[in-house]
Amino acid sequence: MKEIIQKTVKFFSAIGKLLIAEPADKSKIISRKVCGKYRAWKYGPLSISIEMAASYFPENYQLDEEVLKAANAAGNIYSPKGMLYFLLSHARKIAAPRQPLPIKTSYSYVAWQMINLSKVNIVTTLTKHPRLIEIREETLELSASKAEILILSSGGDYLEVNHLLSKIDLTHKYVIICSVFEEAFIHDHILYRVDRKITPNFKSENEYLAFMDEIIREATTIPLNI
């Protein structure tokens, strides 16, 4: 009897070791988590593509089942990027009403991964604006959560800005996305509120600084409900 118990214990500990010994591949872990979260196998032949695309969604965002079903029914979307775009454009957007910033002499901002297509250096020029103060905390999320104006890139083809925006409260912030994507694409594929979309193509420093004045003016006014 004792031997049987010992053998059973050995057997289970060996199985346990096998599970622990599995390489901790991050993408595998994420896709397994997503697989568990959405149970994509339920949605048919495109389940792998859906799983991969869904893994690019923020962790605290829950995709609706109808969207996953529609993605599978759409057919012919076999690339993860194509599927991601489909899911993002059909996914429910997170409503976050904008509250105007109080009128004061200076406003804090965070600039993240902005690309530049103009002669003006759009990141360093911001420091020359008399009413803008850059916030730099330990992490990007913390800086963004304390800033009043966010000037962010779209985060590339996979729109990683969604991850950053998922971690902060946008109610008392003005969100600018600086990207070469079309405005409609940005509004369709970003899950959170975007107040302005700009193309990083400014002709002069003065034009850029004047644009920031306009942003401050807009950020401090009350949005019309009608």
Partner 1 sequence: MKKTLHIDLAEVFGEPLSPRTDSLEPRISMSNADYEHYENQNGQACLQQFDGMLGYINILDLHLPGDIVIPMQVTRSDMHIFYLVSEDRAIQIRDIRKQISYSISCNRGRYFYLTIGDYEIHVPAGRYTLVNFYFRGSIFRDGNECPFQFLHPLIHAYRQQDPHVWCSIDFRAGVRTISLMKTIAAKIKKGDLDSEVNILWGIKKLIQLSKEKIFEEYDKILESQIKSKEAHAAIQQATAEHGQDFKLEDIAWQLGISMDYLHQLIQLYYGQSPQELKIEFMLDLAKKYIVDGMRTDAIAYELGYSSPSSFARFFKKKTGMTATEFFKRYTQDYL
Give, in degrees to the nearest 5, the angle at Cα 77 between 74 and 81. Answer: 125
The answer to whether the CB of 112 falls within 8 A of the CB of 164 is yes
Total binding residues for partner 1 by CB under 8 A?
24
Q: Could you say which residues in the range 119-158 bind partner 1, by CB under 8 A?
A: 139, 141-142, 145-146
Angle at 55 between CA 51 and CA 60, to 5 degrees: 125
Question: Shortest distance, CB of residue 33 to partner 1, whole angstroms?
Answer: 13
What binding mask, one character per residue, do residues 65-104 give for partner 1 by CB under 8 A, x or -? --------------------------------x-x-----
Q: Does position 64 bind partner 1 by CB under 8 A? A: no
Interface residue with partner 1 among 13, 29, 59, 106 (CB under 8 A) is 59
Note whether 220 binds partner 1 by CB under 8 A: yes
- 106 touches partner 1 by CB under 8 A: no
Which DSSP string corresponds to 105-155? S-EEEEEES----SSS-TTTGGGG-TTEEE---SSHHHHHHH-SEEEE---
Distance CA 142, CA 62 (A): 23
SS3 197: strand
Question: Which residue ranges make up the site for partner 1 (CB under 8 A)?
Answer: 59-60, 97, 99, 139, 141-142, 145-146, 166-169, 171-172, 203, 217-218, 220-222, 224-226
